[in-house]
Structure formats: structure tokens, C-alpha cells
Structure 1
Amino acid sequence: MSILSRFDMIPLAILTVLFGLTLYIWYSGKKQLPYPPGPKRLPIVGNLFSMPSQEEWVTYRKWSDEFGSDIIHTDVMGSHVIILNSIKAANDLLDRRSPIYSDRPPMAALRDLLNMDFNITFLPYGPAWRHLRREFHINFLSTEMEVFRPFEQRAVHRLLRNFLSSPNNFSKHLRHMAGQIILSVAYGIDVRPEGDPYVENAENVLHALEIGSAKEATLFDTIPWLLHMPSWFPGARFKRRARKWCRIVDNALQTTHDKVKGDLDSGTAAPSVAANMLSKLDENSTELDLLAAKGVPGTMYMAGADTTVTALETFILAMTLYPEVQRKAQAEIDSVVGNSRLPDYSDQDALPYVQAVLKEVLRWHPVTPLGVSHKVIKSDVYEGHFIPAGSIIIPNVWGMLHDPNIFTEPDRFYPERWFSPDVPAFPIQAFGFGARQCPGRVFARRSIWANIAGILAAFKIVPTEDGPPEKKYLSGLVSYVKPFRCYIRPRSEAAASLVRDTENEI
């Protein structure tokens, strides 16, 4: 839901125009080359009122076709925005020129108003980011993650049991499963089957993230003086609401941090990333070490759950709309795994079609269709076009993964495409670019795969009597599937019995 109504934005726009001369850099600085092509701009406000507010990824892709360029230039109140619509452009700039394209925009709503500056995703390029990135890699080594496989498998099996008992609540069950995995791995918390306070805290943090990444929140980056606007000012409702959610986020993270610290002191701490990092702190620890001990598990807490849920909702939607894909994947599982057990991680390499389904889920609708914005730290030139220093770079991941020159019939859910030598080996763009690529991508892929394989082995997903649902997604940093209905039924009594038997696992 929008945080600021269009009415609320009117006084902001008027005052912005009045103060426009201080921001008016339309023609400032000398450039020898043209900007990349883009939609026509108005004086001072630029493209402020022409930027799309829904399904932006579709509009940005159309702009590439309209203006004949893989990169598009827009201007929002003097802030240059460069949109990358092709894998080639993203590779050339965000990967090969990563040292100057790995900064972040201010993200003031998230970092300043909601106190999420511990999150490595939002940190600017610099010493703090490098330190947390290094700690992420250390804690996400495959050998470090092996200890958590039983936790993940139990969470998947609990999800299957929940699907068996109340399939209509599949979105709720997906969220609980994702929360269970993240909380166990990040903090060693064994969550309750229902009504767990830590899961509820995680949901609150994710809701705050949704608020802080809403379209209106970017106004604080475009018009920085809004950060100093008094709370009674028209349009300041966002700041008032952010103050409340900031307290909720701080409390949620402090609660989990204190629990792990208490468990370490009493010698009862379960294996977790937080326990591992906190146990290494001593009197010689630096401020960056303290930040990492909070930021690494905290980022997992925020980043892992929502992305897993959204990917699995996309999977369920796809299975509802493409029954032939579901049948092929289930036939492969039956032939390899059989009917006497459920699939587990050891089956991944033997189930290439299920792997292709996972790849297609991440391509068909990426969890973050516009990625996370980058910022270029110095002026650059690309294919004869000038990119000013400080430009915000939006990687249109959806547009890249729907490029018809690479992915034939891009709107079709078609796992078979991943067996062709003409497409990339994996839609790695779904996990970011360059130095900013998601450090937990291997863990995320494994978790999503385990759930997909388990669901396919045990259940059949079909449309309701109302017919196939609509494929519709909401805008935001994480693009949620618009709520839809389907039937999730056991494939057989034998499959249902296998699911029930997981209740007894240790």
C-alpha cells in the first residue's frame, strides 16, 4: 500500500520547484558526449512525473525498444538515473567495471529513518561494507553451511505437513518455513510450529523493509532536505510512520541478539552464524567486528526469508498455470527417487529437470526484478554515451531475463530452455552483479530447491473451479506475487503417508 498519497506529494512537489534553483543542475558540468537516450524531460523536475509506479520493469524494457538502446537515461529532480536493460550492459558496467559501479544510493529511508544501516545490502562501498562482506564469505563457506542441512530439511518437512493439514494457507506456511530456516541458521532458534514470537518479529522487520523500499521512500534520496522536514509538515506521514517501525526493527534484532548472547553465557547456544561470530569477540575486537556480529546475521534475517517465500510462490503459481511442467518434474522424481522416500539434497545432480524448474522460477519473475540500485562513483563513458558521477544505476533484471534475443518466448514458463547451449548456464542476474552479488546465493538456491523438490514429490497443484489465476506482481524492492488461489492436494495416499512420517524425525 502506498505510504504517501498523491495528494500528500503535491505540497512536496510545489516546494521542490520553489527550491529548484538549488537542485537545478540540468546543464551543470561540461560533458563532451550525450547522455544515453530516454524519455523527454521537463525543466527542473525532469522525469519525476513520467517514471512508472507499477510494473516498472515492463516499462523500462519497452523504453529500450522505443529508444533503441540497452541503457536508458532519465532525470529525477537533477538526479541522473541510468537503467540497464541487457545482460551485456550489466556485465560490461556492473561486473567488469565493478570498482566504480559498486556504491549504493543514500537509501535514506532505510538507513537513516529505519536504522537498517547494519544491513550489508544497503551499506555504501567502503571499509564497513568490505569488512562485512568478508565476514559473510567466511560464514557462508560450504563447509560452514553443512552443519545446518538437518535444520533446513526439518523446515521443509514441516512445510509439507502444513500443506497436508491446511493447504489453503500455503502463503502463511511458506513464510513460517522461511522464518524457521533463517532463524535457525542465523540465530540457532528452534521456532514453534505456530505463533512463534521470533517469526512474528521477523515478519515485522520484513514489513518495515517493504515500507522503507516503497516508491515514495526514494523521495528522500531525490530530495534530501525532506529528511529535515518537521513531522507536522504536509507529506511527513512517512517520517512519523518510520519512527514507529524503527523501534520495532531495533527491538526485533536486539531480542535475537540478546538471546544468542545469553545462550552463549549459559553454554546452551545452538550452532548458528550469530553464535559463531559473537564467540569470537574479545577486548581486541574493533567497531567493525561489532558491526559485523550484528550485521551478518541481521542481513540474513532480513534478506533470506522474503526472497525465499516470493520465489516459492512464483513456483506454485507456475505449476498452477503449466501442468505439463509439473508432470514432467514429478515423473523425473518418481524415476530417480522412487515412491518410498522424499527427495533430499543428495538428489540434486540426479534431477536435472527439477534444477531447470528452479532456474526458470528465478528467470520467469525474479524476486527483485529491478535488483538493488547501484551508484557510479565517477563519470564514465559507455558506447559513446556519458554517465555522470553519482548516477543511480538500476539493473532491470526482469528485462534482462526476458530478452527475446536470448530467451525465446520469454513470458512462457519453459524449463527446457535451460538445456540449450544458447542460453546462460544459470540466471545469475537474479542474485545481483559484481562485488554486490548476493553472498548467500548458494544457500538460497539450495533452500529453494529443497522446497520445490519436496512439494513436487508429495503434492499436485491445480487451479480452483474459478480457473487459472492471474500472473500479477506488486512493485517494490522485493516483488510479491499478487495473492491467488489454487488447490494443493497429496499426489496419493502413499505420498501423504511419507509426509506424515516426517513428524517422527529427530
Structure 2
Amino acid sequence: MSSIRLLDAGLFGLAAVLLYKVLSRKSGLPLPPGPKGWPLIGNALEFPSSKAWTTFAKWGEQWGGIMSINVMGQTIIIVNDPQIAVNLLDKAGSELSDRPVLPMASLCGWDRVLSAARAGPRLREIRKLIGRVIGTRGSLVKFYPSQDYQATMFLKRVMDDPTKLDEATRKTAGAMVLHITYGYKIQEEGVDPLVGLADRALSEFSAITTPGAFLVDMMPALKYVPDWFPGASFKQQAKKYHKSCDDLADVPLNWIRGQIAKGEAGPSYTHDLLMDKNISEERMERIKWSSASFYGAGADTSVSVIYSYFLATTLYPEVEKKAHAEIDSVIGRDRLPGYEDRASLPYVNAICKELLRWLPIVPLAVPHRATRDIIFDDYSIPEGSLVMANCWKFLHDPDVYRDPFTFNPDRFMGPEPEQDPADFCFGFGRRVCPGTHLADASIYIAIVKAVSAFSVSKAIGPDGKEIIPVADTTEGVIVRPKPFECNVKPRHEKIPQLVADVLAHHEAAI
């Protein structure tokens, strides 16, 4: 069959699917409003190729808090109103707990991680495994020493070379989550192999899950074309990315199993789960991918928030001044803060909240998939529809957050604080992130240590003028600030010795 006949057959099939969807809509109610599309391809030509969250927010100004588009026969419901997101995704949780099949992600093996797992017994068991170890704030206490150690190591890494802030941030994020997940301590010299592996795999994941990045996600039938077919280079790319995904799960798991066999494994998430007797092959697969999911999501979350802190304090020096005043008042200058100080540091806690809101880590929540026809607010949401919550819009809504593009922790202070961004940042319904408490603890300890130890200021360019960075992010499902320049130095002369003392204490306790 010629390529033209293949195209004709594909268009016929697409038309048949569209006709079936129209005829099979049971409720008779309309879809939520949205831009009118073209025959067969719908709104495919309008679908944003970058920063979809800003385009969706603009569409929401015209079409309202809940709207719909059609891309090559796929109905997509976009939610730009936070209350609608809660009412729909939380209250219809069982019907919207599924994930879509993302052809490129599946070809690369990423359908095995928690965030992309389909609804069913496997998903429930992986979430149960994670909840068993880190499901409550109390269960995290045993991990506090690891988190405190890595947050202090971050201070040392930055002081060793302040010009490599980005590298120190990525190394610390990887080190912290590797230590908690597998009990693995990274090598300080050069790029640690497991940190490098995580950076590569998660960068690839972000690329393949960017909306509109691959045509196969809009036309799933393309996954069946031969590797040699014109335009099928994505299949070769998928094979390469599949290996990275496999390695992300296999390499650290094999390492800790070796440590256990030698009797040298320390406490960790995976170690706790591997202590069960008579682990079946199926259970081992779920332990492996729950660990990889935990490891992968935690690393990117910490990188984004820590790096955002330095961007925020570069642009808003008054924030750092207030934070330093609080630290000096509560902690003084003779020690570094820890978890025991958290309740006494409201402004530092407000900074942590504002970091989640200002440049959200996941601007668009991972899509939910309707497993049956749903009626919501006199609209039809047909079975198979994708529901996307625009978290970026929720967190920059001027009706919720005053002057939303300004970094201002004071919005969370006083008797009438603005809404906690954590309500929107960690998912909805039955797909809420099970590692929320761990993320919260990791963010706090990294930020409070950085506040206590450093003074941040604008870098000076070759022309002698201050370099003013731009508050912008990378693309992808999980984003981080774009690289920027700033000056970082210890905020007083005792800091290097305090850091050395804390590290010596931790190392003596190991």
C-alpha cells in the first residue's frame, strides 16, 4: 500500500472515530465551550507547542473556568478555575483516576512510573507501598537526619564553588532523594553516576511529555509504522529513552540489593520494603517502580524549589532581609536551624509556600482520563476525555492571589493568609501525590539552611552593571527556572565552621 493510500485510510479511520464519538454521546448535553476547530483535526493547529498553561489561561478568559478542545478526535477538558478542579477531580475521583495512554511515553517505558500508571490494582499497590513508608508526617521523622545532612552538604557545595549554583542544586536534589530512597551516598568529586542517570532520564521524560512535542501523541496509529518509514525517527529516539528509563529503576535497585546481601545497607525507603520475606516477582516489580517513581519525582521537585529560592532572593532582596532577621531573632548565629525550629519560623515557612506558587513545579497537572461519561455542571464529559487542571492559572489568579506575579511571602502571613499553594501543587482526587509530606519536609530543610547560611545579590556584568535575571522556566511537565547569574556568599564569618560542625556530627552518627 502506498503512503498516500495509508494516509487516506488513516483519515477515514479518524473520521469514523469522530462520528462514533458524536453518535455515542449518551447524555445529549453539550461539551464545555471552547474554540471552534477544523473538520477531522479539530484544534490541532491551535494547540500550543510551548508553555501551554499560559495559552490555556488566555483561552479561559474567553471560554470560562471549564472549557473543551478537540485534538485529532481526542476531547480535552481544560480547567482554569480552582474550585471547578476540586469539585470535578476530587468529587468524581473514581471516574477520573485513570491516566491517558501517551504513545511516546509508553514507547519509552515511562508508563510504568506512578504518575503515568493506569488505574487498577497495580496503581493501588504502588500507592499503598509508598504510603506505608512515607504516608504520614510522623513516618518521615526517621528520614530527617538524611535530609538534614544533605541540606547541610548543599551549603558546603555552594561555598566550595559559588559559581556553580545550578550544579550544586542538582547534585543536592539527587543526593537527598537517593539517600532516602536507597540509602545511597553520592560521590562528591565530579558527576555521581546515579545523579547523572537521574538528570538524563528526567530530562528525557520532560521532553517526551511536553504537550504537542510528538506527532505520535496526536496520531497514535503512527506507533505501528515501521522504523524505516519516513518521519518515524521518533521510534529510534524511543529506544534510546527506554534504556534510560530502565536504568533509572534497575541500577539503584541492584545496588541496594547488593548492599543488603553484604549486610551493609542503611535505612531507606527501598530497604524497608525489601525486608519483607518471600517477595513475589510481581511484588518486586512494584517495589522497583514505586522506588523509581519516588526517586524521579523527588529529585526534580527539590531542584526546582531550591533554585527558585536563589532566583527570588536575587530579584527581591527585601525578602532575604526579612528572612535573615527572623533567623537571627529565633536561631541566632551560633548554630544552623533544623526541623525542630520549624514552628518558630513563620516567615521562612511562608517563603516555602511562595516558592511553590510563584514558579510552580508542575504548571499543568498530569491529565486525568474519564473512565465513563460524566455530567458536570450541565456539561457532558464523555468517556475517554482528558481533563487537564491548569495549576499555573490557579496560582496566578488575581482573584485568589494579590499581585500574583510578584514574589511576596507576606501573602501567607497574618490572620487572613491567602490560599495555601499546596492545595493545587500536588495533584487532585485519587492521583494526589503520595509523597506530599516528604516534598514538604525536603523543601523546608533545604530553604531554611540556605536562608541561614547565605547572602544573595545580583551579579555584575562586564559593563559594571547589575545583571537582572528573568523569572522564567524551562518547558515540560516538570519545570525549573532557566539558568541565571547571581552572587552567593556566607552571610557571616561563623557559617563555614557551623557547616563543618554539623557535617562532622552527622558523619560520626553514621
TM-score bucket of the superposed structures, by smaller chain: over 0.9
Aligned residue runs from structure 1 range 31-430, under 5 A: 31-67=27-63, 69-110=64-105, 112-141=106-135, 142-194=137-189, 195-216=191-212, 219-282=215-278, 285-419=279-413, 421=416, 423-430=418-425
Partner of 2:124: helix, strand, or coil?
A: helix
Deviations 1:464-484 (A, max 9, x none): 124320111122111221111
Q: Distance in 1 between matches of 2:103 and 2:266?
A: 36
Please report how far the alpha carbon of residue 217 of structure 1 lies from its aligned counterpart in structure 2 after TM superposition. 5.1
- More off after superposition, 234-243 vs 177-186: 234-243
**Paired position in structure 1 for 2:457:** 462
Partner of 1:215: helix, strand, or coil?
A: coil
**Paired position in structure 2 for 1:8:** none
Deviations 1:29-54 (A, max 9, x none): 34522211112211110111101122
Please report how far the alpha carbon of residue 232 of structure 1 lies from its aligned counterpart in structure 2 after TM superposition. 1.7
Contact 1:377 1:389 in 2 (8 A): yes
**Paired position in structure 1 for 2:463:** none
Partner of 1:24: helix, strand, or coil?
A: helix
**Paired position in structure 2 for 1:490:** 490
Please report how far the alpha carbon of residue 369 of structure 1 lies from its aligned counterpart in structure 2 after TM superposition. 0.3
Q: Match for 2:246: what amino acid? A: D
Deviations 1:339-375 (A, max 9, x none): 0011111111100111011111101121000011111
Q: Distance in 1 between matches of 2:40 and 2:335?
A: 64
Q: Distance in 2 between matches of 1:241 and 1:340?
A: 53
Q: Distance in 2 between matches of 1:56 and 1:323?
A: 31
Deviations 1:10-41 (A, max 9, x none): x9999864653344347333452221111221
In structure 2, the CA distance between the partners of 1:146 and 1:389, relative to structure 1 (3 Å rule), is: same
Contact 2:356 2:421 in 1 (8 A): no
Q: Distance in 1 between matches of 2:163 and 2:379?
A: 52
Matched, 1:476 2:471: no
- More off after superposition, 165-174 vs 17-26: 17-26
Q: Match for 2:363: what amino acid? A: P
Partner of 1:307: helix, strand, or coil?
A: helix
Please report how far the alpha carbon of residue 155 of structure 1 lies from its aligned counterpart in structure 2 after TM superposition. 0.8
Please report how far the alpha carbon of residue 424 of structure 1 lies from its aligned counterpart in structure 2 after TM superposition. 2.3
Partner of 2:494: helix, strand, or coil?
A: helix
Contact 2:171 2:195 in 1 (8 A): yes
Please report how far the alpha carbon of residue 489 of structure 1 lies from its aligned counterpart in structure 2 after TM superposition. 1.6
Contact 2:352 2:443 in 1 (8 A): yes
Deviations 1:55-91 (A, max 9, x none): 2111111111122x10110000010000111110111
Please report how far the alpha carbon of residue 229 of structure 1 lies from its aligned counterpart in structure 2 after TM superposition. 1.7
Contact 1:128 1:288 in 2 (8 A): no
Partner of 1:311: helix, strand, or coil?
A: helix
Indicate the RMSD between aligned Cα atoms, in angstroms. 2.1
Contact 2:99 2:369 in 1 (8 A): yes
Partner of 1:190: helix, strand, or coil?
A: coil
Deviations 1:134-176 (A, max 9, x none): 1110011444432221111111111101111211211111111
**Paired position in structure 2 for 1:7:** none
- More off after superposition, 80-89 vs 201-210: 201-210
Please report how far the alpha carbon of residue 216 of structure 1 lies from its aligned counterpart in structure 2 after TM superposition. 4.3
Contact 1:364 1:411 in 2 (8 A): yes
TM-score normalised over the length of structure 1: 0.92
- More off after superposition, 251-260 vs 45-54: 251-260
Contact 1:184 1:272 in 2 (8 A): yes
Deviations 1:370-392 (A, max 9, x none): 01111111111222221111111
Aligned residues: 492
Q: Match for 2:401: what amino acid? A: F
Partner of 2:261: helix, strand, or coil?
A: helix
Partner of 2:112: helix, strand, or coil?
A: coil
Partner of 1:386: helix, strand, or coil?
A: strand
Please report how far the alpha carbon of residue 497 of structure 1 lies from its aligned counterpart in structure 2 after TM superposition. 3.4
Q: Match for 1:497: what amino acid? A: Q
Q: Distance in 1 between matches of 2:420 and 2:234?
A: 43
Q: Match for 1:246: what amino acid? A: H
Please report how far the alpha carbon of residue 426 of structure 1 lies from its aligned counterpart in structure 2 after TM superposition. 4.6
**Paired position in structure 1 for 2:432:** 437
**Consecutive unaligned residues in structure 1, runs of 5 or more:** 1-10
Deviations 1:265-305 (A, max 9, x none): 222111111122122140xx445422221122111121110
- More off after superposition, 130-139 vs 143-152: 143-152
The percent identity for this pair of structures is: 33
Q: Distance in 1 between matches of 2:268 and 2:144?
A: 12
Q: Distance in 2 between matches of 1:220 and 1:481?
A: 28
Contact 1:44 1:77 in 2 (8 A): yes
Q: Distance in 1 between matches of 2:22 and 2:111?
A: 33
In structure 2, the CA distance between the partners of 1:14 and 1:180, relative to structure 1 (3 Å rule), is: farther
Partner of 2:231: helix, strand, or coil?
A: coil
Q: Distance in 2 between matches of 1:38 and 1:13?
A: 28
Q: Distance in 2 between matches of 1:172 and 1:334?
A: 29
Deviations 1:208-258 (A, max 9, x none): 312331334564343221111211222222220110121233234222111
Please report how far the alpha carbon of residue 496 of structure 1 lies from its aligned counterpart in structure 2 after TM superposition. 3.5
Contact 1:431 1:438 in 2 (8 A): yes
Q: Match for 2:427: what amino acid? A: G
Q: Distance in 2 between matches of 1:451 and 1:59?
A: 33
Contact 1:54 1:474 in 2 (8 A): no
Q: Match for 2:422: what amino acid? A: P
In structure 2, the CA distance between the partners of 1:496 and 1:12, relative to structure 1 (3 Å rule), is: farther
In structure 2, the CA distance between the partners of 1:77 and 1:12, relative to structure 1 (3 Å rule), is: farther
In structure 2, the CA distance between the partners of 1:293 and 1:500, relative to structure 1 (3 Å rule), is: same
Please report how far the alpha carbon of residue 125 of structure 1 lies from its aligned counterpart in structure 2 after TM superposition. 0.9
